[in-house]
Structures are given as structure tokens and as C-alpha cells.
């Protein structure tokens, strides 16, 4: 009984008799045989059937045997092809072998030899197929083994990461990267419940845009993640578009239909969820994927809980450290700008704020006035907001009104998170501290409480410092009143002397001259009495925290005509970022007009006037000042007169009263400041005014 073969053989030859002879031979040997008389027919049969061996003549019509060999090898590199030729040559033999033919026969064919070669070729083909199948199976097993190793390695790395990572952000990022890599997901996220335990927000993500991460806020029970968080059970969705629970929201959110969502639980408490979707292979997730990610989740939840508790402890330590530094340093700061800047720098170490804005309370006009600004540059120097109709303790309405005003002034954007804190110190309302961030990040109740306490503490310390400042100013003004009273003695003495002369009637001085002396001394006495009355008026030198720059610019505006008529070129040099100081606008304006007008009048034939504004630290006094320099290139002051320019009634001007610079000096003294003059004859004069920052 002949052995039955299942191998299929194709014979291609232009001669039908050759096809029939070879077909009969191979049929008798138990092979299934097909024949073709041209190359196109042979290719058609090859595309329709899976032949184990092809025997072809090299000279075929339409597609020759060599080209047929190439086509077969392009389909199956291991295909068995035997080439026959009636016109053999070395070159043809080389081409046949180079193109992968199994054997090359010259016609006429030795049938027995052909039958032997076919048998060996088919045996080789069978062994090749078995080897390829075994190799594929081995590769598949290796892939599965490598995957298992990767999963175990990922679990090991996860464990190492959990034990070595001390920050929550890094921990979440590491775990998400590992889980996405092992599962083979393109997109994933870790979502945690917020402090209210009502909403899920994304804390770490892969494959999601920044806008999606920042804007996503899911309510418990809503959407897939919310559903998993509420149920506390892992979820495998094979086809989200047919799942009755979620199909309504699937099309816009998922590239692929399958996804995983697993809760992060510690005991019975759900902390959040891990989500994975868009599998790289395009296949659906399976139960093994779910089991693996659930293993991850059980480790992650414990680590998150530990990391969160650790972060909270570290945060409280940092908070205590910052609070201690603030309490220790506040009393050492001597100006409100320094206090507010220091508090802002310290607060941003422990609270996510990008800016702070301080407003003083103007009780008389029932409005708040901008006092200090940090973190927003110098977009605005003056701002007042009436709050007469608002309850200062209704923080929500207060914040809305202030924020709306700041938005209209382009100080902040609508997207920023904004908070307002009424500042209360020693039982009184002193102003409002506003703070916030540019990325709309909410502050916790604890963080809000810290800002409120520190703001009120700073205000209390500052109010005490301001009380000391006012006491110092009162002492200064008392001394100045004593000076004025002393100066008043001179005209009174002169008046008394003239009156005595008139009574005796023995003077050789003409009566008209005596009356002129009386008139001059009475005017001097009146001027001194007016000054004395000014200093005794509580509101006359009422100081407010303001920028010096507007007053300086107003001075130049008032003297614009004099500057133009004298053909004077004005140069301005103003340092940026100067803090506001305590000034009386009207009194400082009078002083600056006096000084600037003197400079203009010293340059009758034209010249240069330089106006400078800067911050200056006086090492001798150990205090910071705002310095105003008025420099001219005029006639200058003789050296012998420099020490007399602040003396009352001293003047070198024809028709001058000698009161201008003494009044300037007293105005600046009332601001707790001082004046300096540097001058060279025929070269010019530099007049400097110093106003303390504290």
C-alpha cells in the first residue's frame, strides 16, 4: 500500500507533453499536482493555492521562469523551487542559484533523479515549516515570559519607588508611568479626591493635554472615574460605546473602546482612582490587565496615604518655621513696604499664592486705598475703592468688588483665584489684604486662616510703629514750634524798641523811617504767627502714604511756563519700583516749587535742569530715604553764603523775602526728613531732599 502524501506541487512548462509526463510521475509518487503552460497562469495558481514545491522551466511565455522564481520568493522566502532549462549556461545557473532556487536541472530530465530531488526538497520543506512553527511558538512563549518578567519587574520597581519616594507628585508620576508601560496604555491618569471628598481632580497624567488636566473636575458617581470611586470596585470596560452606563459620554473622550479604572483604597476609604485607556495594540484590555493594575493600585493607595501624611507633617513643620520667622522679623522692619514684601515672600513658601495686594482704610471717605503690591510688577501706583455699601466681613462680596476693580485696571486677569482678608488689629479695622494665584488654584481653609492671622499681626505691629512715628513727628514739630517762637522774639523786640523811641520822642530818626521799620517787623511777626498756626493745626501736616512721583511731576507742570520762557531743558531720571512714603501732597508741593523755582531763576539765559528720584540708604542714620535731587547749571551760591541759605530773612535776591528755603527746610523736617545743598559759583547748584521710607 502506497504512502499517501499531502504535499502539493506545481509544474510550469511551455510544452504540454512535459507537464503531463511530470504530472504522471509525481502523481504516482503520491503528490497532488497542478500544471501551467505559461508564467501568468502559474502565478495565478500560486496566488490561489499554497504549493509546497514548484517545478518550472526557465523559458516560459509571458512570465519567464527566472521572474517566476523571484515572484515566488517575494511571497515565501522558504519556498522550494526547482528550475529546468534546455539551454543551460554558467551564467543562467548562477542567476538561478543567486535567486534562491533549490535545484537546477538541464533537459532532458532524468526522471528518477528528479523524483529523488523532489522528495528531498519536500522533506526539507516539511522540516523548515516545522522549525518555523516551533520558532514562532518559542517566540510567542518568550514574549509571554518577557511580559511576565516585565510585570514582575514593574511590581518590584513600584515597590522600590514606593519605599524611596517621599513626595506625592513624584510618587504618582512614577506609578502611572510604570503601570502604563506594563499594561501598554497610551493614555492614563491618577485622580485623587479633593478635601471635600466630593470631586476628583487629575494629579498625574500621561497623554492628556495641560488644559484637560487643569480643567477636569469630576463629581463622585459621575462619569467612569466617579462611578468607580463611588462603588470602590475595579472596572474593566471592553466596549465603552455599548456599555449602558457610560456610552453617552464615550465618543468624545476615548480613542479606543476599552478602558480600565481601578479605585485607590486604604481599608474602606477611597482616595482616588487610576485610569488607563487607548491600548497601544488597539486591542481590548483583559482580565489579566485588570488584575495587574489592581495589584498596582493596592500598593499605590498605601503609599499615597503615607506620602500624604508625610507631606502634611512636613508642610506643618514648614508652616511653623515660616510663622516663627515672620514673628521674629516683623518687629525689626521699619517700613510697611518692607513688611508687606517680607510677608509675601514668606507666605508663598507655604501657600500657593502669586501676588498680594494691601489696601489701607480711609475712614473719613469710607474707601480703601492701595498701599502695597507684590508679585504683579508696577502696573498701578494709585487706586481707591469705595466700600461704604459693603459689610467688610462678607468676604465673598468684598472679593468680587475688589477683583472686578482690579480687572478693569488690568492688574489681574479673570482666570486668577482671588481672596480678600479684612485686617483687624487691636479691635479696629485697618484695611484689606488680598492674595491669590494666577492658575485658579483654591486655597485650603487652613491656608486662608494663616493669611488672615499674619495680615492682622503685621497690621498690629505696623500700627504700633506708626504710633511711634507719629510721636516722633510730634516731637519734631514741637521743636520746630519752639524755633518759630524763638524767631518771633526778634521782630517783637524790634517793635518794642521802635515804640519806646516813639514814646520818648527824642529820636533823630525820621518818623517815616520808624513807621517802615514797624511795618516790616509786623509783617515778619505775622508770617511767624501764621507758621505757628499752621504747625498747631492737626490737619495741616496730616501725612498719607503716597508716591512722590506725581507731586514731582505736578511741580514741573506748574512751572512749565517759567521753564519755557527761560529756555531751560529738563532731564528726568526716575528709579523704578520706589515705595510710597508718608507725605502731605500740598506741603511737599510747596517745598518742591520753591526749590525748583530757585533753580530756574538762577538760569536767566537758559540751561539744563536735571530732576532725579531714587532710593538712598544713609549709613550714618541707618535708614532708607526717597531722595529728590534738583540740579541746575546756574549762577551758583558763594561759599560764604551756603551756611546762611536756611536762615530766615537771608536773601541775595533783589526784592527777596528770605523765607523760601527756611519754609522748605521746615516742611521737610515736618516729614522727618532733611535737606542738603551742594553748589559752586558760576557752575550750578544741587539741592537734595530726603524723605524717610519708614
Find the CATH number of the domain harbouring 644: 3.30.565.10
* pLDDT above 50 for 3: no
- Regarding whether 561 and 494 lie in a shared domain, the answer is no
Domain limits at 288? 165-313
Rg of the chain over all Cα atoms, to the nearest angstrom: 49
Mean pLDDT, the chain, as a whole number? 79
Taking 80 as the threshold, does the pLDDT of residue 481 lie above it? no
Q: What is the pLDDT of residues 560-600, one digit of tens each?
A: 888 998 899 999 999 988 888 888 888 888 889 888 988 89
303, 343: one domain: no
Q: Dihedrals φ, ψ of 626, to 5°?
A: -90, 125
On whether both 262 and 288 belong to a single domain, the answer is yes
| b (16+ CB within 10 A) / e for 373-410 | bbbbeeeeeebebebeeeebeebeebbebbbebbeeee
Range in 149-153, 317-321, 426-430, 546-550 the model is least confident about: 149-153
* Residue-wise pLDDT tens digits, 631-657: 999 888 887 777 777 665 555 554 444
383 and 441 both lie in a single domain: yes
pLDDT in tens, 488-507: 666 677 677 667 766 666 55
Each residue of 266-294: pLDDT tens digit? 877 888 888 888 888 778 888 888 887 88
Percent of the chain residues past pLDDT 70, beyond the cut: 74
Shared domain for 368 and 490, answered yes or no, is yes
Q: 690: pLDDT confidence band, cut at 50, 70 and 90?
A: very high
**Nearest alpha carbon to residue 253 among 262, 240, 242:** 240
**pLDDT tens-digit readout, 515-569:** 776 776 676 666 666 666 665 555 555 677 788 999 999 999 988 888 998 899 9
Model pLDDT for residues 128-153, shown as the tens digit of each residue: 888 888 888 888 887 766 766 666 56
Tell me: do 348 and 473 sit in the same domain: yes
Q: What angle do CA 82, 87, 90 make, to 5 degrees?
A: 75
Of 87 and 335, the structure prediction assigns the larger pLDDT to 87
Calpha distance 408→406 (Å, rounded): 5
Same domain, 56 and 129: yes
Locus of grid cell 526778634: 490
Q: Per-residue pLDDT tens for 33-47?
A: 999 999 899 999 988
- Alpha helices by DSSP H, 266-419: 287-330, 336-350, 395-408
pLDDT higher than threshold 80 for residue 694:
no
185: confidence class by pLDDT, cuts 50, 70, 90? confident
372 and 448 fall within a common domain: yes
Please indicate, yes or no, if residue 242 is contained in any of the structural domains.
yes
Total of domains in the chain:
4
Buried b or exposed e, range 335-356, using 16+ CB within 10 angstroms: bbbbbbbbbbebbbebbbbbbb
pLDDT at 252: 46
Cα gap 271→299, rounded to integer Å: 13
- For residues 142 and 27, the model is more confident at 27
Looking at the structure, tell me whether residues 293 and 439 fall in a common domain. no
What whole-number distance in Å separates Cα of residue 20 and Cα of residue 43? 19
| pLDDT band for position 248 (cuts 50, 70, 90) | very low
259 contact partners, CB below 8 Å, separation of at least 6:
224, 237, 240, 275, 276, 277, 285
| CATH classification of the domain holding 278 | 3.30.450.40
Task: Give the integer Cα–Cα distance in Å for 409 and 80.
Answer: 85
Are 200 and 273 a contacting pair, CB within 8 Å? yes
Amino acid at each position: 500500500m502506497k504512502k499517501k502524501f499531502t504535499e502539493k506541487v506545481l509544474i510550469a512548462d511551455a510544452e504540454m507533453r512535459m507537464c503531463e509526463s511530470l504530472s504522471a510521475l509525481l502523481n504516482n509518487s503520491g503528490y497532488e499536482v497542478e500544471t501551467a503552460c505559461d508564467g501568468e497562469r502559474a502565478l495565478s495558481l500560486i496566488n490561489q493555492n499554497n504549493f509546497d514545491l514548484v517545478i518550472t522551466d526557465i523559458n516560459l511565455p509571458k512570465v519567464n521562469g527566472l521572474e517566476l522564481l523571484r515572484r515566488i520568493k517575494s511571497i515565501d522566502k522558504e519556498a522550494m523551487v526547482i528550475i529546468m532549462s534546455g539551454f543551460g549556461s554558467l551564467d543562467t545557473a548562477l542567476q538561478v542559484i543567486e535567486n534562491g532556487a533549490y535545484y537546477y536541472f538541464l533537459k532532458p530530465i532524468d526522471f528518477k533523479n528528479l523524483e529523488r530531488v523532489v522528495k528531498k526538497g519536500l522533506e526539507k520543506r516539511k522540516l523548515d515549516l516545522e522549525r518555523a512553527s516551533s520558532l514562532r511558538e518559542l517566540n510567542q512563549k518568550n514574549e509571554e515570559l518577557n511580559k511576565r518578567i516585565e510585570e514582575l519587574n514593574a511590581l518590584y520597581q513600584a515597590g522600590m519607588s514606593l519605599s524611596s519616594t517621599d513626595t506625592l507628585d513624584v510618587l504618582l508620576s512614577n506609578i502611572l508611568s510604570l503601570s502604563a508601560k506594563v499594561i501598554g496604555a497610551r493614555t492614563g491618569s491618577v485622580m485623587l479626591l479633593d478635601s471635600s471628598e466630593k470631586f476628583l481632580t487629575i494629579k498625574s497624567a500621561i497623554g492628556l493635554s495641560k488644559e484637560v488636566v487643569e480643567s477636569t473636575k469630576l463629581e463622585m458617581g459621575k462619569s467612569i472615574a466617579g462611578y468607580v470611586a463611588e462603588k470602590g470596585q475595579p472596572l474593566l470596560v471592553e466596549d465603552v460605546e455599548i456599555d449602558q452606563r457610560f456610552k453617552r459620554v464615550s465618543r468624545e473622550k476615548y480613542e479606543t473602546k476599552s478602558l480600565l479604572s481601578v479605585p485607590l483604597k486604604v481599608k474602606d476609604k477611597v482616595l482616588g482612582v487610576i485610569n488607563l485607556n487607548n491600548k497601544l495594540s488597539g486591542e481590548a484590555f483583559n482580565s489579566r490587565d485588570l488584575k495587574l493594575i489592581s495589584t498596582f493600585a493596592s500598593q499605590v493607595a498605601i503609599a499615597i496615604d503615607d506620602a500624604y501624611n508625610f507631606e502634611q507633617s512636613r508642610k506643618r513643620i514648614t508652616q511653623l518655621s515660616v510663622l516663627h520667622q515672620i514673628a521674629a522679623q516683623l518687629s525689626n522692619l521699619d517700613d510697611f513696604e518692607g513688611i508687606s514684601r517680607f510677608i509675601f515672600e514668606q507666605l508663598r513658601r507655604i501657600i500657593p499664592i502669586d501676588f498680594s495686594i494691601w489696601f489701607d482704610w480711609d475712614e473719613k471717605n469710607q474707601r480703601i486705598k492701595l498701599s502695597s503690591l507684590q508679585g504683579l510688577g508696577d502696573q498701578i501706583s494709585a487706586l481707591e475703592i469705595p466700600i461704604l455699601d459693603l459689610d467688610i466681613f462678607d468676604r465673598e462680596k468684598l472679593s468680587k468688588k475688589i477683583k472686578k476693580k482690579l480687572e478693569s485696571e488690568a492688574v489681574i486677569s479673570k482666570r486668577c483665584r482671588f481672596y480678600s482678608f479684612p485686617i483687624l488689629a487691636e479691635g479696629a479695622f485697618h484695611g484689606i489684604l488680598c492674595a491669590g494665584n494666577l492658575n485658579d488654584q483654591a486655597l485650603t481653609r487652613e491656608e486662608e486662616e494663616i493669611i488672615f492671622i499674619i495680615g492682622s499681626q503685621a497690621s498690629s505691629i505696623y500700627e504700633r510703629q506708626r504710633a511711634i512715628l507719629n510721636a516722633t513727628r510730634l516731637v519734631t514739630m514741637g521743636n520746630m514750634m519752639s524755633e518759630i517762637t524763638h524767631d518771633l522774639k526778634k521782630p517783637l523786640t524790634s517793635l518794642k524798641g521802635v515804640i519806646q523811641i516813639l514814646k520818648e520822642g527824642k529820636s533823630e530818626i525820621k518818623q517815616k523811617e520808624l513807621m517802615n521799620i514797624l511795618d516790616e517787623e509786623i509783617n515778619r511777626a505775622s508770617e511767624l504767627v501764621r507758621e505757628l498756626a499752621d504747625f498747631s493745626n492737626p490737619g495741616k501736616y496730616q501725612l498719607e502714604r503716597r508716591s512722590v512721583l506725581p507731586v514731582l511731576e505736578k511741580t514741573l507742570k506748574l512751572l512749565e511756563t517759567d521753564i519755557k520762557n527761560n529756555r531751560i531743558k529738563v532731564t528726568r531720571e526716575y528709579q523704578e519700583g520706589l515705595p510710597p512714603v508718608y507725605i502731605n501732597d500740598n506741603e511737599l508741593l510747596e517745598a518742591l516749587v520753591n526749590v525748583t523755582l530757585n533753580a530756574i531763576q538762577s538760569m536767566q539765559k537758559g540751561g539744563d535742569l536735571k530732576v532725579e528720584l531714587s532710593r538712598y540708604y544713609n549709613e550714618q542714620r541707618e535708614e532708607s530715604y526717597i531722595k529728590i535731587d534738583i540740579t541746575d547749571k546756574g549762577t551758583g551760591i558763594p561759599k560764604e553764603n551756603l551756611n546762611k541759605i536756611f536762615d530766615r530773612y537771608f536773601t541775595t535776591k533783589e526784592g527777596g523775602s528770605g523765607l523760601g528755603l527756611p519754609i522748605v527746610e521746615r516742611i521737610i523736617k515736618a516729614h522727618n526728613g532733611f535737606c542738603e545743598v551742594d553748589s559752586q559759583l558760576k557752575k550750578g547748584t544741587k539741592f537734595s531732599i530726603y524723605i524717610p521710607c519708614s
